[in-house]
Amino acid sequence: MIVGLDMMQTIGACLILPALAVLLTLLFGRWPNVREGSTLLVAFALGSMVFSLLGPVLIGARPSLTLWEVIPGVPLAFTVEPLGQIFAMIASLLWIVTTIYSVGYMRGNDEHAQTRFYACFAIAIFSAMGIAYAGNLLTLFLFYELMTISTVPLVAHKGTDEAKRSGRVYLGILMGTSIGLQLVGIIACWILAGSLDFVPGGLLAGKVEGWPVLLLLALFVFGIGKAAVMPFHRWLPAAMVAPTPVSALLHAVAVVKAGVFTVVKVVVYVFGLDLLNGTAGTEWIAAFAGFTILAASFVALRQDNLKRRLAYSTISQLSYVVLAALILAPLSVMGAALHIMAHAFGKITLFFAAGSIYTAAHKTEISQLDGIGWKMPVTMGAFAIGALAMIGVPPTAGFVSKWFMLSGAYEAQAWAAIAVIFASTVLNAAYFLPIVHRAFATKPAPVDPEHDHGEAPTPIVVALAFTALGSLFLFFVPDSFLALAEQLVGGRP
């Protein structure tokens, strides 16, 4: 371990560091350079801590840190397991990139209340780490709700009536589903199993069967509102009113991935694949995810606002993960875990590009993007790579995850799921490729030279180039993620 910490202390550090970033941000609020410099420093430290846990997890260690019992039998506990490690690695790595990006974006757009912004951002990352490493449902729920609360100020950041209205929708749906459905599911598990620990093979295995399993599964899949399964998806388009770094890291990575991560985690560690395979009717819940994939894609087709189109694309992509997990084949569950990674890199690139366009050209609608590719070649090049990753074309990471999902579905003979994935691939292409085409192949509308623009500020360009390359890199070298996903389902299927 680095700097002489043992594994328990490293887990502790992974939680303390983002909390420290919150403090430093508030403390140095008056000096923007110190504030952002310290955030960046902490982000790097966090990244190295998280990655130092990768080795032990790959050789089968499951380091854990148990603090104290909150309620009898249910402690505040953290355990590093493969799926959580995937999520933590993505979140911490992309936090570094986003911090660099934010500096360019927030200053380039002269945003107000930047200290509040950075502080809430760091709290959201803190909760993401807590969710990733949570050792039981209670700990997970604690950080899940903290994440909701800390991101509402980011959504309502602008303080306009529209922003506040969006904040209300966001809070209402996320809190409503988590308190109204998920909490009931958690308490039911507590009563049924007497504990809330994540157990390989399933906490509820052998403790309940038949329709109550189905009911519980529904409580979780719909109660985890962050996974945005229809009809609880409206908060995500509403959240697009936030500044772009928020949409990029939180609403393409941390928050939404926390949602699908929780779904996968609950399916694997609370129910267990065997229990769900032995329960009739799970395909009905999977059908909701399948419907969401298609319906959100159709809505995305009709959006002219770039960020809203990306948001509906995210809704659709999140349901890939839910659907893949609910196919209940080990290969498809691997696909779900890998898609968390693949979508993260692809979608953050797309959002970074959208923010880059907004900063440099002040354009938000797709119809305004004629010929912008030649003025902002790096931005739009990265956008093209991100789009390919969303469609799932080699050589991008999106192909890897889709491959696993499809092989899992084939193995489970889930023909409907295969049909949905193919149809949506076509739809993905239909709503992403025209943007790329418009950017590079159409003539730009004439502008007067005073309003002409080039590339966005350097921090922005560096950040989006990095994530785009990451998307390509992970196609060629997905080894560690692949190994983690294999461990999640207990060895290569």
- Judged by CB under 8 A, the stretch of 159-167, 301-309, 368-376, 428-436 that binds other proteins is 159-167
Residues between 184 and 213 with contacts to other proteins, criterion CB under 8 A: 184, 187-188, 190-191
Contact pick of 8, 164, 304, 476 for other proteins (by CB under 8 A): 164
What is the Cα–Cα distance from 171 to 148, expressed in whole angstroms?
7
User: Comparing C-alpha atoms, which of 253, 310, 326, 254 is closest to residue 428?
Assistant: 310
Q: Does 403 bind other proteins (CB under 8 A)?
A: no
- Judged by CB under 8 A, the stretch of 36-44, 166-174, 270-278, 290-298 that binds other proteins is 166-174
Structure tokens at 442: 């159409």
What is the Cα–Cα distance from 34 to 40, expressed in whole angstroms?
10
Q: Does 141 bind other proteins (CB under 8 A)?
A: yes
Q: Whole-number minimum distance, CB 282 to other proteins, in Å?
A: 23
- Judged by CB under 8 A, the stretch of 156-164, 229-237, 401-409, 483-491 that binds other proteins is 156-164
Contact pick of 176, 281, 444, 493 for other proteins (by CB under 8 A): 176
- Judged by CB under 8 A, the stretch of 68-76, 258-266, 391-399, 463-471 that binds other proteins is 68-76
For residue 315, the cross-strand partners are: none
Of 164 and 437, the one with the shorter C-beta distance to other proteins is 164
Q: Which helix (H) or strand (E) holds 472?
A: helix 458-476
- Judged by CB under 8 A, the stretch of 170-178, 242-250, 256-264, 459-467 that binds other proteins is 170-178
What is the Cα–Cα distance from 387 to 378, expressed in whole angstroms?
14
Collapsing DSSP states into helix, strand and coil, what is residue 76? strand
What is the Cα–Cα distance from 183 to 315, expressed in whole angstroms?
23
Contact pick of 40, 175, 378, 393 for other proteins (by CB under 8 A): 175
The Cβ of residue 277 has, within 10 Å, a number of other Cβ atoms equal to 12
Contact pick of 5, 142, 412, 433 for other proteins (by CB under 8 A): 142
Contact pick of 61, 179, 447, 477 for other proteins (by CB under 8 A): 179
Q: Whole-number minimum distance, CB 182 to other proteins, in Å?
A: 11
Contact pick of 4, 33, 71, 448 for other proteins (by CB under 8 A): 71
- Judged by CB under 8 A, the stretch of 46-54, 84-92, 162-170, 415-423 that binds other proteins is 162-170
Of 34 and 169, the one with the shorter C-beta distance to other proteins is 169
N- to C-terminal Cα separation, the chain: 31
Residue span 87-126 as binding mask against other proteins, x where in contact by CB under 8 A, dash where not: ----------------------------------------
How far are the Cα atoms of 290, 338, 341, 343, 476 from residue 318, in angstroms, in the given order?
Answer: 11, 12, 12, 9, 23
Q: Does 60 bind other proteins (CB under 8 A)?
A: no
Q: Does 167 bind other proteins (CB under 8 A)?
A: yes
Q: Does 475 bind other proteins (CB under 8 A)?
A: no
Of 183 and 393, the one with the shorter C-beta distance to other proteins is 183
Q: Does 345 bind other proteins (CB under 8 A)?
A: no
Q: Does 30 bind other proteins (CB under 8 A)?
A: no
Alpha helices in 2-111 (DSSP H): 7-27, 32-52, 54-58, 82-108
What is the Cα–Cα distance from 108 to 419, expressed in whole angstroms?
44
Torsion angle, CA of 202/54/228/289, rounded to 10 degrees? -60
Contact pick of 55, 73, 159, 231 for other proteins (by CB under 8 A): 159
What is the Cα–Cα distance from 484 to 83, expressed in whole angstroms?
7
Q: Does 69 bind other proteins (CB under 8 A)?
A: yes
Structure tokens at 303: 């959006």
Q: Does 149 bind other proteins (CB under 8 A)?
A: yes
What is the Cα–Cα distance from 107 to 92, expressed in whole angstroms?
23
Letter for the amino acid at 376?
M
What is the Cα–Cα distance from 229 to 223, expressed in whole angstroms?
9
How far are the Cα atoms of 7, 422, 444 from residue 20, in angstroms, in the given order?
Answer: 19, 45, 47
Backbone torsions φ then ψ of 64, nearest 5 degrees: -140, 160
> How many residues are listed for the chain in this entry?
493
The Cβ of residue 479 has, within 10 Å, a number of other Cβ atoms equal to 10
- Judged by CB under 8 A, the stretch of 179-187, 344-352, 384-392, 422-430 that binds other proteins is 179-187
Q: Whole-number minimum distance, CB 62 to other proteins, in Å?
A: 24
Of 23 and 426, the one with the shorter C-beta distance to other proteins is 23
Of 122 and 171, the one with the shorter C-beta distance to other proteins is 171
- Judged by CB under 8 A, the stretch of 2-10, 172-180, 448-456, 471-479 that binds other proteins is 172-180
- Cβ pair 97, 467 in contact under 8 A: yes
- Judged by CB under 8 A, the stretch of 53-61, 79-87, 94-102, 173-181 that binds other proteins is 173-181
Identify the sign of the CA torsion 355, 357, 358, 359.
positive
Of 159 and 394, the one with the shorter C-beta distance to other proteins is 159
Q: How many alpha carbons lie under 13 Å from residue 220 in its C-beta half-sphere?
A: 29
**Contact footprint for other proteins (CB under 8 A):** 68-72, 76, 138, 141-142, 145-146, 149, 153, 156, 159, 163-164, 167-168, 171-172, 175-176, 179-180, 183-184, 187-188, 190-191
